[in-house]
Structures are given as C-alpha cells and as structure tokens.
Chain A
Amino acid sequence: MAGSIFFLRTKENNQSDIDIDGFDWPMISILVPCYNEEDTIKETIENLSGLSYPKKEIILINDGSTDLTASLLEELSTKHTEVRVIQLEQNRGKANALQVGLFAAKAEYLVCVDADALLADTAPYYMIHQFFVSGERVGAVTGSPSIRNRNTLLSRMQLVEYASIIGAIKRTQRLLGKVMTVSGVVVTFRKKALVDVGLWDRDMITEDIAVSWKLQKRFWDVRYEPRAICWMLVPETLSGIWQQRIRWAQGGQEVVLRHWRILFSWKQRRLWLIFLEQCVSTIWALSWLFITLVLIFSANAFQDLLLWLTLTSFFLVFISMIQLFISLVIDSRQNGVMKYYFWAAWYPAIYWMVNTLVVVVALPRAIKSRYKGGYAVWSSPDRGLKKS
C-alpha cells in the first residue's frame, strides 16, 4: 500500500506523456513464441501487424506445435510482409524458442509477447521510450497486462488480483530498484543485456522470472511501465488456474534455489529484499498449512474448526480490502478496473488459501527440478472463454 501510493506520487504523477510523432523510434523485433496456438495466433498477428509503431518486424517461432499452428504460421507469413516465421519441429520450451528468435532478430530491442495477447497501440512506444530516459542501464521494460475475458467469477477474481499483484507489488519493488519478475506476457528487452547474461534459462519453468534475476544480478535495470497495456486471456477453470499458479510458484522457488548466493554479496544488496520476500512467502505458506492441520486435528468442538473466524483473520481481511481498493484505484487510471472491486470479497476469503496451497505443492517440484535439470517445456494453457 505504502509503496504503490509512494510510486504514484513520486513517479507516475510526474510522468509527462511521450511525443510519439517527434521521436526517432528505433526498429523493434516482436518475438512471439507459439505452442499449439491455433485458436489465438491469427488475431494476435493481425493486432501486431496493425500497430502504428513505424519500424518493426514480427518473428513467430513455432515450438513444435502438434495442432494446426505450423500451417497457420506459414499462411500468415505470406499474408503479412513484416512477419517472419521459424518452424522448430522439436518442442524445447518457451525459453529455447525465444533464444532462436533473438538470433533471428534484426533489431536491438526485442518485444516479447505471448501468442494469446494483444498489444495496445501505444504500448511499444511507452516501453521503448524507457530505454531513452536515463536508460543506459535499462535491460528490460515490462508492461501492464490487462485481462480480456471478464465474464466468469474466476476471471473477475483474477482481474482484481492482477491489479494487486502486478500493480502494487511491481510499483513497490521498483521503488527498491529491483523487481521479482517481468511479465512474460509483455516485455521489451535490450538485446545487449540478454547477450550479456547468456539469454534465457532453458531449464527454468518460468523463463521470465529467471531472466529478470539474471539481468539484475548483472546490474541491468528492469523497469515497469504501467501505461504499456497488453490485453491477455486468463484461465477460467480451477484446474487451469491451479496449473498456472503451480508453475509461477515453482518458478519463484527455482530462482531462490539458484540465486541464494546473492545473500553473501554486498553488491547484490538491492536484491536481498526481493529474495527474502520470496522466502518469507514460502515459509508463511508452510506455517499456515502446518498450524491449520494441527488445529484441525486437535479441535475438540466445531467452533474450534471455524479457524477463519478469528480476530487475526479479521484484520487480514480488513487490510486486504483496503489494499485491493487502493491498487484498483491506481490501476483504474490506465484501464478502468475499479468496477470489479465487487468481486474482491472472494480474495481474502478463499483465494489466499488456494495460493498458499499452491506454494506448498510447488516446493517439492522446484527442489526436484533444481536437481534433475533438463528442458522446461510447456503445455497448452487454459485460455478461458473464446469470443462468442
């Protein structure tokens, strides 16, 4: 709360709008890794081709899809002159696809977009502009995802959550000078920075979290640009959300297990708080589960089982609702999400518990993955409702 209000007062309120027509915009390469994207890829490419950004190429990397993506990409490459297509017949994961895309890219600035995401027309301008405002150390600029499918309870809950997670947390982390992760759905990288850190990690389940840490360890800045809106789809089934969250939690934990040595380096002190936040979240989740289980098994009466009706939970709900309110008010300046506050009531009551369980389930997977190694390949995510 304090962080997002402070960020708003000191940074966002002081930002002047950019002069789009009076700036010599550099060329950008838009990288779109695709895996089984036959439902969404056409709309995405039409959106990207239609962007007003003056100098751009769109590189589609098909990562061994098993559906009709390959033939669709071939067709799209003939239809749009700025589209280039790389067909990989072996599926080796998103990080691997992005690496191939980097080698193919002609531009120094790489805008990485998910195959189910649509960019707002002004988004590339806002992100690229950051590299030119005292941006000699900027390695990446992450945009602000906004949810397209808002029709179900789950998607509305996620809408509220995104304003809280992406908005409030990223704003606060930026004040500390480091962020936990860029948003994989929309981020622009400086190619030089990626080459400097050896590109994306192919053995980490969340390549966006992993590369954020690699960049920041090498003292490249990662900035957050709330005005760079990217429209995305979120899962609308419980299993879809569960799998997605397990992946995120595992990715965060893998980073903690890989980069723990930063705690012994004074030069990396700005990363300590972000690192410790991740550790504390995991410990909190484990403690919550442990205490809940102890209370359930030692309860003598039904009243004892109503654990959530405690004074502590009352305060947590109270603070959570204030925090969500402030986050939504701030995010509403860009995308008008305030009206979805009604659905925030679910968040402290149910969502926390689900997220806590996710952290607990992800932990052994992260440890196993850390020792096992190998390619982190992807499965087709749940993209929610299709357009009716």
Chain B
Amino acid sequence: MVKSRSRSKEIMIISGNRSNFRFVTDLLITLFFWVYTVIVIIFILSATTGFSNVVTRTLNTTFKTTNSEVQAVILFGFIVFIVIYLLLFINRLYNKKRFGKLTRRTYPEVVTQRELIALQLMSVKNIKKLESNYVIFEKNPIISLEEEKKHEESD
C-alpha cells in the first residue's frame, strides 16, 4: 500500500514591480500576435471543415490555395501524428516483450576510495583534505586538463 506525504504549498514565485506602461505594451503586442494566431486557427479550421467564410476566401486567394489542399495538409499532419504514436506503441510493446522480465544486472556497489584514487584526477592528500567540513584550495585540487589528457593517452 502506498501513501504520500501531503505536499507543502510552497510559494516560490517572485512578484516584482512592473510599470503599467510596460504591462500595457506587453499586453497590446501579445494581443496583436493573438489576432494573427486566431486568424490562422479560423482559416485552418474553416478550410478543414469545408466552411467557407471571408477569412478562408481571402487567404485562399492570397496563397493561391483551395480548401481541399488545406484539408490534405491537415490530413497528412494527422497521419504523421498517428504513425508516430503507433511507432512509439510498437517500440513499447517490443521493449516489454524483449526486455520486460529480464533483470540483467544487479545493483551496483557503492564507490570505494580506491576507485576515486584510480581516476587519477586528484591526489590522495587532497582527497583526505576534503574530508573536513571547511577547506580552502589555493590551487585547483583537480589535475590540469593537460595532465588528464596525458593520463588518458597513457591508458
């Protein structure tokens, strides 16, 4: 049985001061873009459903298109959506069937000090130094990129 801790309603959102002028400007320009967007939506939906109106007639004339061409594009988009959805569904079925029941690995062991040293990125002395709660390094404790490259090449 699962139970959850009720989520605390943290109010993290910052409200800053914004001038009325900026707010109105933002609003007006956004509304302008919405007018454009609404025209787009009306045109495509009307053309797709075969419902001719001033918008579809004007835009079809401008673009030299017909409603049936718009319908064809929308149908193509819908088919692409369905195909992708089906491909994802098949991919999921395949993965479930092929790998679903397999536990191919055991959980990895935790990292040991030896493994950290084996990385050759930091000296043992500096690793020890990092065990304290407050530490200052005047020089970067990690080896330089040039040295790291040399190690990689020698490995």
A residues in contact (CB < 8 Å) with B: 1-3, 5-6, 10, 16-22, 52, 74, 77, 83-90, 92, 96, 99-100, 103-104, 108, 118, 120-122, 134-137, 146, 148-153, 175-177, 190-193, 195, 198-199, 202-203, 231, 233, 310-311, 314-315, 317-319, 321, 342-343, 345-346, 348-350, 373-375, 384-388
Assess whether B130 is in contact with A151, with CB atoms less than 8 Å apart. no
Q: Is B40 at the interface (CB under 8 A from chain A)?
A: yes
In the complex the two chains form, is A175's CB within 8 Å of B88's CB? yes
Contact B130 A88 (CB under 8 A): no
A103, B127: Cβ atoms closer than 8 Å:
yes
A-B residue pairs in contact (CB < 8 Å), sample of 13: A3-B84, A6-B88, A87-B135, A103-B126, A118-B10, A148-B12, A175-B92, A192-B109, A195-B116, A310-B63, A321-B40, A346-B30, A348-B37
Per a CB cutoff under 8 Å, which of A100, A192, A198, A231 touches B119?
A: A198
The chain B residue with its CB closest to the CB of A230 is B12
Asked if A317 and B14 make an inter-chain contact with CB atoms under 8 angstroms apart, the answer reads no
Known: A342-B30, A343-B30, A374-B145. A136 touches B14 (CB 8 A): no
* Cβ-defined contact, B2 with A17, below 8 A: yes
Whether the Cβ atoms of A96 and B140 lie closer than 8 Å is: yes
Establish whether residues B107 and A74, one from each chain, have CB atoms under 8 Å apart when the complex forms.
no
Alpha-carbon distance A1/B73, docked complex (angstroms): 17
Instruction: Give Cα distance in the complex from A3 to B142, angstroms.
Output: 41
Q: Are A90 and B139 in contact (CB under 8 A)?
A: yes
Known: A18-B4, A104-B135, A192-B109. 6 other contacts (CB 8 A): A2-B84, A3-B84, A19-B2, A103-B127, A136-B107, A317-B37
Q: Is B54 an interface residue (CB 8 A)?
A: no
Check A84–B119 contact: CB distance below 8 A.
Answer: no
A85 touches B133 (CB 8 A): yes
Q: Is B7 interfacial (CB-CB < 8 Å)?
A: yes
